[in-house]
Amino acid sequence: MNHVAPLVSDPVKRRNSWASAFKKGWAHSKYLHLLALPGVLYYLIFNYVPMYGILIAFQDFQPLKGVWGSTWVGFDQFKAFFQHMYFWRVIRNTLLLSFLELLFVFPLQILFAIFLNEIRSHFYKRFVQTVSYLPHFISLPAIVGMLFMFLSPQDGPLNMLLVKLFHMEPINFMGLSEWFRPLYIASDIWTTLGWGAIIYLAALTNVNPDMYESASLDGASRVKMIWHITLPAIQPTIMIMLLLQIGKMMSLGADKVLLMQSPVTYEVSDVISTFVYRRGFEFGEYSFATAVGFFNSLINIFLLLTANWFVKKTTDNSLF
C-alpha cells in the first residue's frame, strides 16, 4: 500500500522546509548565483532604487526642499499634461513613429535573417553579415552627422546629383517636416537591420536540415520551404520579439530624435521623450516631466499586457 506524505500544516515546519530547500538549491548552484549577482545588483541600484523618485510626480518639487519637503499636489501634474496644448501632438508623433518602426524595421529584420539563411556561399554570407552589422557600432551623433552631410542642400552628394542629373532645386531634407519620418525610419533600417537579424539567425540554427531535404525531394520550391518550414520554426521568437517591441512603443528614444529635429520640425518630430527632456532640463519643471514619464510607463505596461493577452489567446506563445 502506497503511503502519501502528509502535508506540512505547521507554519514553522513549512518555513523550515523552505529554508532547507533553499539551502540545498544554493549549494548546488551557488556559483551560478554568484555569476548573476552583478547583474542583479545593477538593476537594483540603477533601476529599482531610483523608482522612489516617482513620488515627485505628485508634488510641486523644489530641489532645495527635497522629495520629502516639497508640497504634495496629488494628480495636478497629470491634469496639466492632459490639458497641455501639445498633449495630442506628442502622443500622435510617438505612436506614429513607433508604428512605422513596427511596420518597416521589424519585418525587414526577419526577411534579412531568412535571406542570410538561404545564402549558400559562406564567404558571401559572412561578408554581408559583417557589412550589415557595422552601422550598429557607429555612434548616433556620427550617424546623424552623416545624414546632415550627405543631405546638405549646399554640397550634399544627393542634392548635387539632383541638381546635375534632374536639374532640380536643392532640397533641405533635414529642415523639412515632411522628410523627418522617412529619414528617421530609413536610418533606423540601416543601423539595426543586421544587428536585429542576429536573434532570428540563432533561432534558424535549430531547424533540422533533414526537413529541407525531405521537402526538396517532394518537389517543394524554396519559397514553399520558407513558408512551411522556416517561418513556423522561428514563429515563437518572432512573437516574443513582437511583444517586446510593442511593450516599448511609447518609449521612443530621445537621443536620435533630439539630434535630428529642429524647431521647424517639432510638429512631426516632438515625441514624449523629447517633450519630457525639454520640460525637465530646459524649463526645470521636474514634477511635470516626471508625471509625463510615469504616464508614459503606464501606457507601455498597458500595451504590453494587452498584446501579451492577445498573443496568448491566438497562439501558444507569450511572455508570461
Q: Where are the domains of the chain?
A: 12-60, 75-314
What three-state secondary structure class fits 60?
strand
- Rounded-to-integer distance, Cα 242 and Cα 307, Å: 9
Please tell me the pTM assigned to this model. 0.84
CA distance readout (Å), 219 to 168, 178, 187: 52, 48, 40
pLDDT at 10: 58
Residues of the chain predicted below pLDDT 70 = 1-16
181 Cβ contact list (under 8 Å, min separation 6): 96, 97, 100, 268
Amino acid at 273: S
Identify the pLDDT of residue 73.
Answer: 94
pLDDT at residue 67, as a whole number:
87
Average model confidence (pLDDT) across the chain = 88
Name the class of domain 75-314.
Answer: mainly alpha
**How many C-beta atoms surround the C-beta of residue 69 within 10 A?**
10
How are the residues of the chain apportioned to helix, strand and coil, as percentages rounded to the nearest 5?
75, 0, 25
Residue with cell 515632411: 178
